[in-house]
Amino acid sequence: MHSRCMALIEYLAAPYDARADTPHSKPWAYQRYMQRGVGRPWTDDFSQISIEFGNETWHNGFFSDWLGFNKRNAITQGGPEYGLFCQYLIEQIKQSPYWTSQHLANKIRFNLGGFYNGSVRPDGSVTGYGEEAVQHCRDAVTLEHANYVGPKWETGDKSMSTFTDHGVQETLLGWLTSNAKVQAEWSKARTALAKAGHPYDLVAYEGGPSGYAIPGHASAEQNATNEHYGKSLAMAVSALDAWMGSYQLGWTDQCFLGYGEGAFWNSHTLMGKGFRPSPGWQALAMRNRYVSGELMAVQTNRTPTIQRGQETYPLIGVYAAHQGNVWSVIVVSRKLNGQHDGVDFGDGCTPVTIHLPIATATNIMLHSLSGDPRQTNLDAMNISIKELTIPTATLVNGAFTIDAHSGGSEGGLPPGSIYIYNFATGDKVGAPTVSTTLTTATKLLPPALTGPADGASVVCTIVSNTLPDRGLLGHVNLSWNPVPNAKLYDVQISTSNSFNTIMDTVGQPRIPPLNWASKESSIVWLLPVNVLYY
């Protein structure tokens, strides 16, 4: 095992100079050199490389060749053993001579794989396959979960056998009725372990549209039904809902499964049938192309709802991001048109008004994915991304209504659709400034905060989070550029991702000198309070 760990790091990180090195002295670097034609290591080309230990080791032989760390078929058991084994591998990897010389501690992240469980018990202990593994692997910095929407065979869900409007409506609600609840528990577990001294990122090792039966375990008719659900516009709405909702719960990297041709989880039809993208793939492309920057908080004033048992779910979802002079707003409709579930939803359109923290815009662009939510691109290109320039006059004193004048329909947002608006302003938001004793740290998502009692304002913009130099003691002055429309600034400090307000909210973009009593690096959040609601 030691030799394999050495080979891995040599392949990834060892430079190869054909004038001085030989295939004997650096066999794995030489192999990379022969493949690439240059001696430059992969770690020089990528800012970060993640190493995942195993794929779904929780199976424990459920599939004959997917072995884990407990008895065969002891599914999701063996988390501590998995974590201990991974820690052993990491310690072997760090013995590579290239670990230090190539500064790999800043390049390589170690990931553990989890399951659809993970929670905090009443006594405060944390359970779950991946969460238990993390507690026994101190060098793991990310914990991976799957982020699929639709029925999941891994959790015992049965894929749908008939295609109905009820099934399409359930697909549109997939993020809210399934993923959101369990992911909230995973986030609680992450917070609890961070407080105990083991912070980590939540990431998706795979995810996206699902609802498929295990290949070879269903009839051709059921597989065809699964394809219709999994490749529908409704499933695309649910998948984007899940990606954005996971970000709100603190997730970072997310991986789509998978880019390829054919049935089941593949993104495109067969090459011989046009290699047409599924709406789920198109939704992913829209998020990557047209949404960037820091995630904003969004406050909901009113929205139509639907009842499922004792739970009430909103039929409209809104997400927002901000970068430079561009505000991006994602609006998704979880509503299906027509008569179903005992209700007549008519044309399924929903009036939507969004209030932004900017009064006007110099440019407004819309990218949308809409049509019949029941449709797919399996047999023809029925669903495609549309681009439209929107008149700037549609944004009036910060209020923006989705209607026929702004790219929607007469009745508002079409059913089962995805709308991404980009609002550009003439003046960029000023970059925050801090004293020279501080260095900028990686931006993270802050904890959820509550806005003023009147409900009109919410904390929704991260100005900056800054990190004092390690070992700094004494007084530190903080200041930052004013943020347009910000009414107040909330300032918090912590040595971890658990925050406590250190002073009253302030009305000016500066605070008096702070006394740092800790020799640990600390994080300061500067949060302006402004308006973003719909």
Q: What is the mean pLDDT of residues 446-474?
A: 29
Question: Tens of pLDDT along 330-349?
Answer: 999 999 999 999 999 999 99
CB-based contact 413:402 (threshold 8 Å): yes
- State the pLDDT confidence band at 485, using cuts at 50, 70 and 90: low
d(C-alpha 120, C-alpha 115), whole Å: 15
Q: Where are the domains of the chain?
A: 294-424, 438-530
Place of tokens 């591998």: 89
| Contact present, 44 and 38 (Cβ < 8 Å) | no
pLDDT at 466: 35
Q: How many CB atoms lie within 10 A of CB 220?
A: 7
- The helix or strand, by DSSP H or E, that contains position 365, with its residue range, turns out to be strand 363-369
| Torsion on CA atoms 232, 237, 242, 244, rounded to nearest 10 | 140
Write down the pLDDT at residue 483. Answer: 59
Confidence band, pLDDT 50/70/90 cuts, at residue 440: very low
pLDDT digits (tens, 9 = 90+) for 6-54: 999 999 999 999 999 999 999 999 999 999 999 999 999 999 999 999 9
CA distance 77 to 111: 18
* Bond into 258 cis (ω within 30): yes
Q: Pick the residue with more confidence: 431 or 187?
A: 187
Residue-level pLDDT at 492: 54
Report the DSSP beta bridge partners of residue 323: 326
Segment 138-161, tens digit of pLDDT: 999 999 999 999 999 888 899 999
pLDDT reading at 278 higher than 60: yes
Write the DSSP assignment of 452-495 as a string of letters: -TTSS-EE----EEEEEPTT--EEEEEE----TT--EEEEEEES
**CA–CA dist 91, 87 (Å, integer):** 6
Distance CA 58, CA 118 (A): 13
The confidence score (pLDDT) of residue 429 equals 34
Instruction: Mean pLDDT check: name the lowest of 62-66, 83-87, 170-174.
Output: 62-66
pLDDT higher than 80, residue 220 = yes
The CATH number given to 294-424 is 2.60.40.1180
Q: How far is CA 59 from the centre of its chain?
A: 25
What pLDDT does residue 437 have? 25
Using H for helix, E for strand and C for coil, what is the string for 439-460? Answer: EECCCCCCCCCCCCCCCCCEEC
Say yes or no to pLDDT of 478 above 60: no
Q: What is the pLDDT of residues 496-525, one digit of tens each?
A: 444 443 434 445 554 444 443 443 444 455
Furthest CA-CA distance within the chain: 76
Q: What is residue 5's DSSP assignment? A: H
pLDDT of residue 479: 53
Average pLDDT for the chain: 84
Residue in this structure with the two tokens 């130099």, named with its chain if needed: 469
Q: Which two tokens stand for residue 398?
A: 């910060």
The pLDDT of residue 455 is: 26
> In the structure encoding, which two tokens stand for residue 335, read together?
């509503």
Nearest to 243 by CA among 306, 167, 295, 189: 295
Q: Which two tokens stand for residue 5?
A: 């760990």
The CA radius of gyration of the chain, in Å to the nearest whole number, is 25
